[in-house]
């Protein structure tokens, strides 16, 4: 049956072609064998079928770049955004006046620059719970992140740390600031001054070497002078060899090193060679000692009890913690079960349970007690630089490097234009100018060490206490020696001196009587 339909369809097609084109063909016919019965079909049949059948259309393939092109066409000009922020010096600071509340800070300056460049306006409000955002037990978030997720705000403009956990629930713009985590502590008291601080420029080995050189030079001076004197070498009346006993030789080496003159003076050639070399030696020693003594007495060194994150985790005397509800709080909390040093620190912080409610509250805890605050380095640098009493310092090197960005909703079209605006501020150098406005460069030193000569304090009595003790000891020794000599002379040699006095008196009387006998007129 179907063979008959094909034949009918073919003949009808030929008739339609002949009627439509009104032309004849002389080419040999093409034979399509569909059965044992041959069917003659002209070559116009395929063309006719092509005209009768609908032309297939090529499906339009949506390129992956189309979404990006659409994002580039998104304009914020004329839009009014609802932005949420948090109070954090120097990023966002509030000032209440009669006219109302005004906000200023580094983040506010960035927001103003973006609004002016992209042409949008905004309504700004503070996050109700005063936190940056952390996951809750019921699969919700608190703080700034929670406000964006719940669509209460279009964007969170604050120093929000970009993390993998937050990136799963919100989108972040390009980071406008890079950062790390640091340690803040109250500046310790300067290292205690030793009782014998004047000995600090040289170590004990140098002092004993100088003392040995002093005695060695004195012995050598005594020996050479004594040999010359015994052998009658040189001019004995001029060379002073006889005067250089061991006591005088030791005295010469001593007064030479303290830069004072004395007797006897070396006159022989060997004595002068030895004394000249000793004087040059003492010149170098005294000059070096004076230079080092100045540095040791005027520069007070700070000895920090903690120098790194490992030192902090390995001690329990000084408590430490992070600010509640921040990225660092979530980070340490997420380390449970990892077996890392951060897990051990989290359990310690959890046991102490001293999480400050804000970063500035943590700074006040550091000022008032022995406490270490773990916080992002930009805020810590600001706190140290602007401290009125310069009583804070940073410890160790930063760790856990991240970035700050603005948070928008997942899939929000605001992300790309805000990111492009931030990149333009960074490329033009405007971002650096805004940062320098809020982070002073000439504030308090970050490491607590002061290199300013004007801030050097006057030297106290404790610096010279050892010298006073040395002088007092010498005075007491002189008094004791004098008393011993007087007592020995008075009681041990008193009879001999009395007998000698009687003999001198008797001799005087005899001489007088002799003179009177010779010349009676003396009376």
Residues annotated within a binding site: 159, 161, 166, 376
219, with CB counted inside 10 A (0-12, 13-18, 19+), is middle
Strand partners, 183: 374, 395
What distance in Å separates the CA atoms of residue 250 and residue 222, rounded to the nearest whole number? Answer: 8
Residue 51 sits at φ, ψ, to 5 deg, of: -75, -35
Lookup result for tokens 């300067």: 190
Lookup result for tokens 């006057």: 458
Strands 40-41, 80-85: pairing is unpaired
Binding residues for L-glutamate: 159, 161, 166, 376
Which residues, at least 6 apart from 383, have a Cβ–Cβ distance to it below 8 Å? 89, 184, 359, 363, 392
Q: The tokens of 43 are what?
A: 């070559």
- Contact in structure between 81 and 120 (CB atoms under 8 Å): yes
Lookup result for tokens 């006073």: 468
Lookup result for tokens 């803040």: 184
State the DSSP string of 207-243.
HHHHHHHHHHHHHHHHHHHHHHHHTT-S-HHHH-GGG
What distance in Å separates the CA atoms of residue 318 and residue 307, rounded to the nearest whole number? Answer: 13
Lookup result for tokens 């903690």: 306
- Contact in structure between 387 and 361 (CB atoms under 8 Å): no
> Which DSSP state fits 193?
P
Find the angle CA(81)-CA(82)-CA(84) to the nearest 5 degrees: 135
Beta strands in 229-340 (DSSP E): 320-322
State whether the Cα torsion 426-428-431-436 is positive or negative. positive
């Amino acid at each position: 049956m179907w063979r008959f339909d094909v034949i009918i369809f073919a003949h009808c097609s030929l008739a339609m072609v002949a009627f439509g084109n009104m032309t004849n063909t002389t080419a040999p016919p093409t034979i399509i064998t569909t059965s044992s019965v041959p069917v003659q079909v002209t070559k116009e049949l395929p063309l006719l079928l092509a005209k009768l059948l609908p032309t297939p259309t090529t499906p339009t393939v949506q390129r992956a770049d189309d979404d990006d092109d659409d994002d580039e066409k998104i304009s914020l000009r004329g839009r009014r955004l609802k932005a949420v922020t948090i109070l954090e010096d120097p990023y966002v600071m509030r000032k209440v006046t009669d006219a109302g509340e005004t906000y200023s800070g580094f983040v506010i300056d960035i927001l103003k620059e973006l609004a002016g460049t992209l042409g949008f306006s905004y309504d700004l409000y503070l996050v109700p719970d005063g936190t940056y955002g952390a996951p809750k037990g019921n699969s919700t978030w608190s703080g700034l992140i929670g406000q964006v997720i719940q669509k209460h705000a279009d964007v969170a403009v604050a120093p929000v740390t970009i993390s993998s956990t937050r990136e799963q629930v919100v989108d972040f713009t390009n980071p406008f600031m890079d950062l790390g985590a640091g340690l803040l502590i109250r500046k310790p008291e300067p290292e205690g001054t030793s009782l014998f601080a004047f000995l600090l420029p040289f170590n004990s080995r140098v002092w004993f070497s100088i003392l040995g050189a002093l005695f060695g030079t004195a012995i050598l001076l005594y020996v050479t002078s004594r040999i010359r004197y015994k052998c009658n070498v040189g001019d004995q009346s001029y060379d002073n060899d006889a005067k250089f006993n061991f006591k005088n030789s030791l005295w010469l080496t001593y007064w030479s090193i303290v830069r004072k003159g004395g007797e006897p003076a070396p006159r022989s050639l060997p004595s002068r060679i030895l004394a000249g070399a000793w004087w040059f030696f003492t010149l170098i020693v005294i000059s070096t000692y004076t230079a080092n003594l100045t540095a040791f007495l005027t520069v007070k060194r700070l000895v920090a009890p903690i120098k790194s994150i490992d030192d902090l985790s390995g001690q329990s005397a000084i408590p430490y913690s992070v600010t509640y509800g921040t990225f660092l709080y979530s980070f340490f909390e997420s380390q449970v079960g990892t077996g890392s040093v951060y897990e051990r620190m989290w359990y310690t912080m959890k046991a102490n349970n001293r999480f400050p409610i804000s970063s500035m509250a943590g700074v006040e805890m550091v000022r008032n007690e022995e406490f270490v605050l773990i916080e992002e380095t930009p805020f810590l640098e600001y706190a140290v630089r602007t401290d009125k009493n310069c009583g804070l310092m940073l410890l160790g090197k930063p760790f856990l490097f991240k970035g700050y960005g603005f948070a928008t909703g997942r899939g929000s079209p605001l992300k790309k234009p805000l990111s492009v605006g931030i990149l333009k501020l960074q490329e033009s150098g405007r971002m650096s100018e805004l940062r320098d406005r809020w982070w002073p460069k000439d504030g308090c030193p970050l490491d607590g060490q002061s290199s300013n000569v004007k801030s050097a304090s006057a030297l106290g009595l404790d610096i010279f206490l050892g010298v006073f003790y040395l002088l007092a000891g010498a005075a007491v020794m002189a008094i004791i020696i004098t008393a011993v000599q007087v007592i020995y002379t008075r009681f041990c040699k008193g009879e001999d001196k009395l007998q000698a006095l009687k003999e001198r008196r008797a001799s005087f009387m005899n001489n007088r009587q002799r003179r009177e006998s010779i010349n009676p007129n003396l009376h």
